[in-house]
Amino acid sequence: MRLVRLTLLVICLMWCGQALQTNLQAIDWRVIPVDPLATAAGMLLMSVNFIIGSIVCRRLLQRWQHSVTPSQALVLTTLPPLGKYLPGKAMAVIGQTLLARSFGVPVATMTGAALLMLSLGVASGAWLGVMLGGILPHGWLITLGGALLLHPGVYRQIINRLMQYLKKEPFAVGLTWGENLWLFTLLTLGNLAYIGGATLAAPGIATLEPARIAGIIGATCLANVGGFLAVFAPAGIGAREGILLMTLTPYLPPAEAALFALTSRLIQTGTDLLAALLGAGILFFGMGGGGVVEGGDLLGEQTHQKGQQ
């Protein structure tokens, strides 16, 4: 299996690299519009995604009687996600569960919360891509179908299949339909801030017509989702850029699409690194101690309050 993944990754990188090289050669690098203010503003907008993620994470853990502080929730949504840049799509989730355990949250609880956030985040990214990209007609039917998938009876089966894949015991998610929809809405806003910020921070994009910008955001959402689903590619490298080159055709010439694919990757990676540094700083210098009040975890186990020595 590792050999298959490595082979797919090499093929993807070779194809994408060749396409990028061919298109980038047509660019006159002397006239590329560089706006540091737009780049900084875009990256600042991207940070909203991490704040929303921490709110959702804290809300889920509170729903299951495990409290974490706002700073701990922010650490959980900024530092472990760097695991996506390592081989294996589970590294970010594993990092979250191990770090949460140090905050007094049981592994089963954090695993469930991480999978809920991950699945809802991917679904919201795909929905944004379809709606903004105008790929499919009758968007309201897509929205209705997605809302039905968030019904507790359906969504519980999806999450427990993921738990089974990770060799974890199934559990009762316990969220109502309204709670699922509310969390989906929050994560959709987070995705919009993250992808929208990365799009506006790229050279020359902020000056385009609003309709083209919306289409580029939609295409980038789909590319990020596709990159995530490409299990052979760490952080979707190669797969994401290849999808972008194809989906940006209605909005940008090939050379500009190649430039956007490259710069948006650098912007997203740079923002992820800055967020992780912030999370590491909070973890090691900003928490200042304090216990975590806990209740029963998702499997009905009881834990006790952890005190600081």
In a domain, 84, yes or no: yes
Q: Residues for the chain: how many in total?
A: 309
Question: Greatest CA span in the chain, whole angstroms?
Answer: 63
Interval 125-174: pLDDT, tens: 999 998 887 665 656 667 777 777 777 777 777 777 777 776 666 666 67
Q: Is residue 86 part of a domain?
A: yes
Q: What is the mean pLDDT of residues 234-255?
A: 91
Q: Is residue 204 part of a domain?
A: yes
Residue 292 lies in a domain: no
What is the pLDDT, as a whole number, of residue 240? 93
In angstroms, what CA-CA distances link 265 with 12, 44, 138, 203?
16, 16, 31, 12
Tell me which of 30 and 74 has the higher pLDDT: 74
Residue type, 16: C
Provide CB contacts within 8 A for 23, sequence distance 6+. Answer: 245, 254, 255, 257, 258, 259
pLDDT in tens, 90-100: 788 889 999 99
In order, the DSSP letters of 249-288 are TTTS-HHHHHHHHHHHHHHHHHHHHHHHHHHHHIIIII--
State the chain's mean pLDDT as an integer.
83
- By the 8 A CB rule, do 190 and 57 touch? no
Amino acid at position 5, single letter = R
Q: Which residue has the tokens 């990757």?
A: 265
Per the listing, tokens 């699409």 go with: 257
**Contact, 234 vs 255, CB < 8 A?**
no
For residue 211, with 0-12 CB atoms within 10 Å meaning exposed, 13-18 middle and 19 or more buried, which class applies?
A: exposed
* Residue 32: both structure tokens together: 């590329």
What is the number of domains present in the chain? Answer: 1
What is the mean predicted confidence (pLDDT) over 107-119? 87
How high is the pLDDT of residue 154? Answer: 78
Q: Could you tell me the residue range of the domain that residue 111 belongs to?
A: 35-286
Has residue 29 been placed in a domain?
no
Mean pLDDT in residue range 242-248: 92
The pTM of this model reads 0.84
Q: Is residue 16 part of a domain?
A: no
Reference 245, options 18, 5, 4; nearest CA is: 18
66 in a domain, yes or no? yes
CB atoms within 10 A of CB 154: 12
In a domain, 235, yes or no: yes
What does the block give as tokens for 4?
């298959």
